[in-house]
Amino acid sequence: MDASHSELDLHSTGKGEGETVGIALLGFGTVGAEVFRLLDDNADAFAHRIGGPAEIRGIAVQNKNKLRPGVPSELLTDDAKALISRDDIDLVVEVIGGIDFPRELVLAALNSGKSVVTANKALVAAHADELAEAAERSGVDLYFEAAVAAAIPVVGMLRRSLAGDQIERISGIVNGTTNYILDAMESTGASYDEALAEATRLGYAEADPTADVEGHDAASKAAIMASIGFHTRVKFEDVHCEGITKITADDIVAANNAGYSIKLLAICERLHREDGSEVVNARVHPTLVDKDHPLASVSESYNAIFVEAEAAGSLMFYGNGAGGNPTASAVLGDVVGAARNIVHGGRAPGENTYANLPIADFGEVDTRYHIDMEVQDRAGVLEAIAALFAQHEVSLRTVRQEDGEDTARLIVVTHAAKEATLENIVSVLGELDEVEAVHSVIRLGS
């Protein structure tokens, strides 16, 4: 018994059981307020789960004179840097948003030996390398579960649960705003503008919806998921990104008729080249998802992530991917993890980019196209178009023609081919005399 106790002591190089972990909360918006409330309401439970009390000892806000009911005014400060540097702060929770200012604060915290929990996807996707290095140098933890799909534990699942497996593909609906808009278009027949207006009215879209509807938010999450899943540094700018602003009510109807839903997917893929080498790709684009696929039935602002791994097979995770409470849940799960390590010693698995796989150009990825075009309504047109595909060695899965007055509508679905080849075909299609207009090109998924 004595021998085993000394073994225990050897492992316990943290502050020690029962000691208080001092927390600095940076930001007091929806998420920050929820984190404060839950930590306060459930103080006993947190103390038990951590191994000692967790105490918020300061809250950095822009305007410290704003009335915040329930928050002791002595906790508020507008000097975040001074708060971070205090000796009684062990753990910094960043829920400000933006990139440059939080980057400065998070780096300052890590460099001064304090663990950090952040919900900031843009920051992590842009600067993970620098932040991970700082955490590594100081021997502290950097947690960011809330940065991808809020309370859906994507980061923990990729980093820990599947740590003994090889991940082949991650595809997911990771942006609630765009899923809400696409789902509304599908269920009500609304145009993109109408659905966006409704989403804004209901609070699902921000006043400036650019980051969501152009796919930037999803691309940040794709970069994070690909980095962890493939043990390779994938940055925001490595992600091919197309948003949903060009999707029309017509596209949705055509997709529905063909048995698909249109979803904005973040896709992270390991590609096996013919020479045996591996590369990775991450991309975000509107995708036709077969209505039988579990991702097709993800409605409203819900998120879902579909993971394919060598041994585990297919796994799906589904839940609220945004919102104050679900985000606070993820932040607090991280707070317990980081605080436990501060009390008991030990560190969370950090960034690990040992595989360092090359990032494949989007052109190298195998995709399938659904092309909706207007063609001349005369003999020989289909032949000319089929010849173009054949010439590029792309075979067609289905061809559907609907006759109009002088022109006909032709919907072509291809088999898989290199993205670059398909892109090339579409640019040539547009110049054929037989083709009046290419209305839309949407890739098939999941």
First to last CA, the chain: 55
Q: Backbone phi, then psi, for 407, in 5-degree steps? A: -115, 170
Choice between 10 and 379, CB closer to a copy of itself: 10
For 287, left (φ over 0), alpha (ψ -120 to 50), or beta?
beta
Q: How far is the CB of 87 from a copy of itself (least distance, A)?
A: 14
Question: Is residue 230 a known part of a binding site?
Answer: no
Q: Please check whether residue 210 is in contact with residue 178, taking contact to mean a CB–CB distance below 8 angstroms.
A: no
Token pair of 56, please? 């918020």
User: Tokens 């091919």 correspond to what residue?
Assistant: 240
Question: Is residue 101 a known part of a binding site?
Answer: no
Question: Is residue 28 a known part of a binding site?
Answer: yes
How far apart (Å, rounded) are the C-alpha atoms in residues 189 and 256?
Answer: 11
Q: Please check whether residue 135 is in contact with residue 350, taking contact to mean a CB–CB distance below 8 angstroms.
A: yes
Q: How far is the CB of 17 from a copy of itself (least distance, A)?
A: 12
Question: Is residue 30 a known part of a binding site?
Answer: yes
Q: How far is the CB of 159 from a copy of itself (least distance, A)?
A: 10
Choice between 313 and 380, CB closer to a copy of itself: 313
Choice between 134 and 241, CB closer to a copy of itself: 134
Choice between 101 and 317, CB closer to a copy of itself: 317
Query: Which of 303, 300, 305 shows the shortest CA–CA distance to 316?
Result: 305
Query: Which of 220, 188, 209, 214 shows the shortest CA–CA distance to 300?
Result: 188
How far apart (Å, rounded) are the C-alpha atoms in residues 231 and 351?
Answer: 8
- Helix, strand or coil, per DSSP, at residue 298: coil
Q: How far is the CB of 57 from a copy of itself (least distance, A)?
A: 18
Q: How far is the CB of 137 from a copy of itself (least distance, A)?
A: 5
Question: Is residue 92 a known part of a binding site?
Answer: no
How far apart (Å, rounded) are the C-alpha atoms in residues 9 and 183?
Answer: 55
Token pair of 160, please? 């820990």
For 122, left (φ over 0), alpha (ψ -120 to 50), or beta?
alpha
User: Tokens 């039988």 correspond to what residue?
Assistant: 292
Question: Is residue 27 a known part of a binding site?
Answer: yes
Choice between 254 and 304, CB closer to a copy of itself: 304
* Residue 15: active-site member: no
Q: How far is the CB of 309 from a copy of itself (least distance, A)?
A: 6
Q: How far is the CB of 170 from a copy of itself (least distance, A)?
A: 14
H runs (alpha helix) in 42-99: 43-50, 80-85
Q: Annotated catalytic residue: which of 221, 235, 263, 418?
A: 221
How many alpha carbons fall within 13 Å on the CB side of residue 280? 28
Choice between 41 and 88, CB closer to a copy of itself: 41
Q: What is the CA radius of gyration of the chain?
A: 25
Choice between 11 and 378, CB closer to a copy of itself: 11
Question: Is residue 33 a known part of a binding site?
Answer: yes
Question: Is residue 306 a known part of a binding site?
Answer: no
Show Cβ contacts of residue 245 under 8 Å, excluding neighbours closer than 6 positions.
192, 213, 214
Annotated binding site for NADPH: 121
Binding residues for NADP(+): 26-33
User: Binding site, residues?
Assistant: 26-33, 121, 206
Q: Could you give the residue numbers annotated as active site?
A: 221
Binding site for L-homoserine, by residue number, is: 206
